[in-house]
Amino acid sequence: MMLRCVDLRVRLGDREVVRGVDLEVEAGSWVTIIGPNGAGKTTLLRALLDLVGASGHREVAGRNLAEIDGRERARLMALVPQIPEMPPAMRVTDYLLLGRTPHLGMLGVESAEDLAIVGDVLAQLDLEQLADRPLAQISGGERQRAVIGRALVQQVQLLFLDEPTSALDLGHQQDVLELIESLRHEHGLTIISTMHDLNLAGDFADRLVLLADGRVEATGSPETVLDPAVLGATFGTAVDVIEHEGRMVVLPRRSER
Amino acid sequence: MIQAERLRPSWLIASLGVLFGVVVASLVIGPADIGVRAALGEVLDHVPGVNVDSGLSETNAAIVWKLRAPRLVLGILVGAMLSIAGASYQAVFRNPLASPYQLGAAAGGGLGATIAIVNGWGDGAGFFDALPLLAFVGAIGAVGATWVLSNAAGGVRSIASLLLAGVAVTAFLTAIQTFIQQRNVDTIRQVYSWILGSLANSSWNEVYLALPYVLVMTAVILVHRRRLDVMSVGDAEATTLGLRPARVRAVVVVAATLGTAAAVAVGGLIAFVGLIVPHTVRLVAGTSNRVVLPLSFIVGGAFLAGVDLLARSIATPAEVPIGVLTAAIGAPFFIMVLRTSRRLVA
Ligand SMILES: Nc1ncnc2c1ncn2[C@@H]1O[C@H](COP(=O)(O)OP(=O)(O)O)[C@@H](O)[C@H]1O
Ligand SMILES: [Mg+2]
């Protein structure tokens, strides 16, 4: 088991936003959290990473999260935030190098090995021509690859992605998800992502977790979770789910006029 | 081959060259006619283990070693410290206009100095003189008060609450300082002269007072230079990269503030240096703190020593307050930087 949480709860202000979530994620799998806006998907990710005060039990790679210090956590898990902060004047190379932070010593000097790791990731993500470009001067799709690159450079086992496709067009959405899928197999990564596009979620995840109002409403394979009755109730609109060449397609039903 | 952004040797050599130029000019220029060789010889003669006959008369030797040299060194130390502290604050608060003065260091130092002056404690010279000591205590106390107030209000984790607390503390301390000053009009000139900053009448004693702080605090800041680059992605992401942002911020703010307090204690309130120098370095040499911090230190030292040379030369035998000059140079320069720089605005 790569990650486990029991009765995870988060209060923000006077509201409980994550309300008793139990989750088990197997090593090497891809789990996607779906749910309406404001369901608590981002907050759940932040709680799993201990970025927000939460109660409940959390385990990573069989160890209690509370007993793992910050540097070691950063060698186990990386986050690709929905809206990353990207210092405009920083070069792509230096941005990727930030991922080596938890591996460096006291003075923060990168070794030849650290630089080589960044070189490999730049090549793998097709970012080599952009290596010396400031972050302000690359496109949305390239930025997303740079953030994923930084996470890869961290050499973690568990990769969290918050809405990795929300800022991208159709083609780039597909590219990024296929990239993540290939990286998962190549590096043996475990992926936990959030996504509000149900079709993309169903296409790429092994398992879906449907979150509504801070609670898990359904969990399981895309076939079981993408159920018209369940989705209709949580999203508050009638949907049809059709199967097309072995893939699940969710179609909201238009209201009568 | 992949390379991290780093301080290019050419920039290091160029900045050290400028510093050396300012050193020579400051030792040589002045009412007493002293040549380059003689001045450098006199300084070298004081290096332990070196014996040089500068050929200077006793008076001129004293002018070089007892007047010009300590003032020069103090100018370098104060300028270097204010600059690297400014660069640190800007990095740690991710705010291009941040400076230690915003957390109350200037107002606290000003209050401490005013108390010393109106009571006739100390004359601004000497290791244990009341004036620099009270200015030092005032600056530290003010930043400490800001810290406590901010913690009570919303935690130092919140940058906004910290800066707002700084505004409140500054306003409060400035009010007290003005009140004391107005009740003691006979010393108002002295108070103003200190507030506007001055390196005149400085001796090796002030250098000894400031030197340990400048060296130790600069070392602490430089050790954190890469962590400060990591902080530029914000606290949450920095945490996922294995950093403890609140701790880095605390350590760097304390170091920059202690260093600033020492600089203020011996040099008065010299404005703008902590803004002009780091921004110039960023525009010219790069934005990584690995570049900005060390270069700000060297360039800041050269800049302030150079301005001080100007302050004592342009209206001889009178002195122009150095803070007036840095502000006069700094303000238009700063507007120019803001106008021409896309990087800053971005
Ligand atoms: N700092 C905060 N304080 C109070 N409520 C918050 C805060 N951040 C988010 N929320 C609320 O928590 C709920 C869940 O937010 P979020 O996890 O971002 O949802 P999702 O990612 O599923 O869209 C929302 O109702 C949101 O308004
Ligand atoms: Mg979200």
pLDDT in tens, A240-254: 998 888 888 999 888
Which of A19-23, B267-271, B311-315 shows the highest mean pLDDT? A19-23
**pLDDT for B344:** 43
**Can you give the pTM of this predicted structure?**
0.90
Q: Are A148 and A80 in contact (CB under 8 A)?
A: yes
Residue B19 · residue B298 · CB < 8 Å: yes
Residue at A66 is within a domain: no
Interface residue B57 vs chain A (CB under 8 A): no
- Cβ of A43 less than 6 Å from ligand 1: yes
**Does one domain contain both A190 and A248?**
yes
- H or E element at residue A18: strand A15-25
- B185, part of any domain: yes
Instruction: Choose among A74, A75, A89: nearest Cβ to B343.
Output: A89
Q: Could you give the CA distance from residue B64 to residue B28 in angstroms, rounded to a whole number?
A: 8
Among A112, A129, A155, identify where a domain stops. Answer: A155
pLDDT tens digits, one per residue of B77-100: 999 999 999 999 999 988 777 787
Closest Cβ–Cβ partner in A84, A91, A101 for B243: A101
Report how many domains make up chain A. 2
Of B88, B87, B132, the closest CA to residue B113 belongs to B132
Tell me if A210 is assigned to some domain. yes
Distance CA(B111)–CA(B128), nearest Å, equals 18
Mutate to test the pocket of ligand 1, among A10, A15, A17 (most ligand atoms within 8 A of CB): A17
Residue A70 lies in a domain: no
Number of domains within chain B: 1
The CA distances from residue B226 to A52, A89, A94, A106, B101, in Å, are: 25, 16, 11, 10, 24
Domain that holds residue B317: 9-24+73-345
CB-based contact, B284 to chain A, within 8 Å: no
Whether pLDDT at B196 is above 70: yes
Asked whether residue B133 is assigned to any structural domain, the reply reads yes
pLDDT at position A7, please?
97
Residue B31 located in a structural domain: no
Chain A interface, mutation test: which of B239, B240, B291, most A Cβ atoms within 10 Å? B240
Q: Does A169 lie in the same domain as A150?
A: no
Q: What is the mean pLDDT of residues A176-195?
A: 95
Residues A109 and A27 in one domain: no
In a domain, B48, yes or no: no
Domain assignment present for B36: no
Q: What is the pLDDT of residue B327?
A: 87
In a domain? residue B324 = yes
The pLDDT tens digits of the residues spanning A75-105 come to 999 999 999 999 999 999 999 999 999 999 8
- State the average pLDDT over residues B48-74: 91
Neighboring chain A residues of B230 at a CB cutoff of 8 Å: 98, 101
- Asked if the structure places residue A90 within a domain, the reply is yes
A91 vs B152 pLDDT, higher one? A91
CB pairs under 8 A between A and B: 86
pLDDT at B266 over 80: yes
Q: What distances in angstroms separate CA B139 from CA A21, B135, B190, B261, B275, one per listed residue?
A: 49, 6, 19, 5, 19
Write out residues 203-262 of B within 8 Å (CB-CB) of A.
223, 225-227, 229-230, 232-234, 236-237, 239-244
Query: Are A216 and A147 part of one and the same domain?
Result: no
Q: Once rounded to an integer, what is the mean pLDDT over residues B8-17?
A: 96
**Same domain, yes or no: A53 and A165:** yes
Q: Which chain A residues contact residue B5 at CB under 8 A?
A: 91, 93-94
* Domain annotation covers residue B281: yes
Q: Are B260 and B110 in contact (CB under 8 A)?
A: no
User: Residue B95 falls within a domain, yes or no?
Assistant: yes
**A155, A173, A193 - which closes a domain:** A155
Is a pLDDT exceeding 50 seen at residue B203?
yes
Range of the domain at A95: 77-155
| Ligand 1 atom 25 nearest Cα | A38
What integer is the mean pLDDT of B65-82? 96
Q: Work out whether the CA dihedral B95, B99, B105, B106 comes out positive or negative.
A: negative
> Hey, are the CB atoms on A89 and B287 less than 8 Å from each other?
yes
The verdict on the CB of residue A48 being under 6 Å from ligand 1 is: no
Q: Does A50 share its domain with A173?
A: yes
Please give the biggest Cα pair distance in chain A: 67
| Mean pLDDT lowest among A43-47, B81-85, B107-111 | B107-111
Query: Do A183 and A149 lie in a common domain?
Result: no
What is the percent of chain B with per-residue pLDDT over 90, rounded to a whole number?
Answer: 51
Do A161 and A243 belong together in one domain?
Answer: yes
Q: What are phi and psi of A242, to 5 degrees?
A: -120, 155
Ligand 2 centroid, distance to A162 Cα (angstroms)? 7
Residues A92 and A117 occupy one common structural domain:
yes
Instruction: Identify all chain B residues contacting A88, using CB atoms and an 8 Å cutoff.
Output: 343, 346
Q: Within 10 Å of residue A155's Cβ, how many Cβ atoms? A: 16
Q: Do A98 and B288 touch (CB under 8 A)?
A: no
pLDDT of residue B346: 40
Does pLDDT of B153 surpass 80? Answer: no
Q: Are residues A82 and A139 in the same domain?
A: yes
Examine the domain organization and report whether A134 and A161 are in the same domain: no
Which domain-ending residue is among A117, A134, A155? A155
Query: Which stretches of chain A are DSSP H helices?
Result: 41-48, 70-76, 92-97, 112-124, 140-153, 170-187, 198-204, 222-225, 228-235
Task: Give the torsion through C-alpha atoms of B109, B110, B112, B118, to 10 deg.
Answer: 160
Q: Whose CA is nearest to atom 17 of ligand 1?
A: A40
- Average pLDDT over chain B, rounded to whole? 88
Same domain? For A194 and A151 the reply is no
Q: Where residue B238 sits, what CATH number does that domain have?
A: 1.10.3470.10
Nearest to B227 among A75, A93, A108 (CB): A108
Instruction: Check residue B268 and give its pLDDT.
Output: 86
Q: Does A71 fall in a domain?
A: no
